[in-house]
Structure 1
Amino acid sequence: MLLLLTLALLAGATCRAQNVLANNIGTYFYIVDEGKGEIKSIRIFYTAARRLKGIQLQFQNHWSDVHGIRSKYYEEFLLNDGEHVIKVLGTVGHCLDSLTFITNKGIEFSFGKNKGRPFEESGGPDQHLQTVSGVYSHICLQGIGFKWTYNTTKPPREPMTIPDTDKEKEDSKDKDKDKDEDKDEHKEKTKRKKK
């Protein structure tokens, strides 16, 4: 029984790591995003040699835990309202060497050094980055995976004016009444002039 439980746990970790680009040997992580809103900022921690060693995401006003290793060397990329990551480029050797995030506004922001084997990931049309997962060791980020979601925000529609047909009918009646009164006044004036 214990053997089956151990195999099930190992299989679960392997399945999760299959979605990780680059190396999948190390400690697996998944940044939980549910109910916290959309990504507003991405923070990457470095070694002194500029190897990627940790990652942290901000969802609205909430920062996730640091996954990997925190460092005094880091950079941060802030997304504007309505801006989403739609593609990620990267390179990998023994560690994850670089990441470039590309937004729907055409902005690119790169972390790390562009060396090693390249990779590219996107969710496809009308999708943006929801969160990330990956693997880290005591030295650096080893690999990374991306979860994509469909855009749910639609551009605001122009306000539509619905005519008030009852009001239009009243206005029309008032205009007709005014015309009739004008005609009556005109007739009365004409009669007076004739006298």
Structure 2
Amino acid sequence: MLLLLTLALLAGATCRAQNILGNKVGTYFYIHGEEQGDIKAIRIFYTLALHLKGIQLQFQDQWSDIEGLRSTRYEEFHLNDGEHVIKVLGSVGLCLNSLTFITNKGTEFSFGIKKGRRIVERGGPDQHLQTVNGVYSPICLQGMGFKWTYNTEKLPRKPTSQVALDRQWLDAGLILGTSGLLS
């Protein structure tokens, strides 16, 4: 019975950590707060060697709990209104060494030192970062996963050329041909 319970606990931890990039061994975390709205800021805490030690996200005006470990060395990146993270780059060795967040406005912000095995993650078209999960050890962040969501704000598409404009008029039945108004 004890063996079955142990296997069930190990399988649960493995399932949760399947989408994590980097090392998957350590204490699992998931940052809650996405129900409050979009990510407005990201704060990363560092070890003395500048490995990533902890992470905190701000949703609207509320900061999440710190996941991983707190330190006095940290940096934060604030997103502007309408700005969303659409791609994450990083590097990992024994610890998560770096993360670079790229936004829909072309802004890039990097945390840590780029060294080790490279990781890349992005959502699909029209998606942005909703929250993160990962694992940490008593020393540093070990790996991270990214949860993506679809953008809710859609701008109306505008014709990009005269051909597109003519197609819209034709589809609306407003171009009558050579014997009509446009002859």
TM-score range, shorter chain: 0.7 to 0.9
Match of 2:129 in 1: 129
Match of 1:171 in 2: none
Bigger Cα Rg: 1
- Code of the aligned partner of 1:64: S
The count of corresponding residues between Structure 1 and Structure 2 is 157
Query: Where in structure 2 are the equivalents of 1:46-195 lying within 5 Å?
Result: 46-155=46-155
Secondary structure of the equivalent of 1:55? strand
The sequence identity of aligned pairs, in percent, is: 77
Structure 1 stretch 98-107 or stretch 3-12: which is displaced more? 3-12
- Code of the aligned partner of 1:4: L
Secondary structure of the equivalent of 2:58? strand
Where structure 1 has 5 or more consecutive residues not aligned to the other structure, the ranges are 158-195
- Code of the aligned partner of 1:97: N
After superposition, what is the alpha-carbon deviation per residue over 1:42-98, rounded to whole angstroms, capped at 9, x for unaligned? 000001221110000000011110000000000000000000000000000000000
Moved segments of 4+, more than 4 Å: none
Tell me the TM-score normalised to structure 1 length.
Answer: 0.77
- Code of the aligned partner of 2:18: Q
After superposition, what is the alpha-carbon deviation per residue over 1:79-122, rounded to whole angstroms, capped at 9, x for unaligned? 00000000000000000000000000000000000100111000
Distance 1:154 1:45 in 2: 34
Match of 2:28 in 1: 28
After superposition, what is the alpha-carbon deviation per residue over 1:111-148, rounded to whole angstroms, capped at 9, x for unaligned? 00010011100012100000000010010000000000
Distance 2:99 2:151 in 1: 23
Distance 1:20 1:117 in 2: 14
Match of 2:39 in 1: 39
Deviation of the 1:4 alpha carbon: 2.8
Give the conservation status (yes or no) of the 8 Å contact 2:47–2:53: yes
Tell me the TM-score normalised to structure 2 length.
Answer: 0.82
Structure number with higher helix proportion: 1
Match of 1:18 in 2: 18
Give the conservation status (yes or no) of the 8 Å contact 1:33–1:130: no
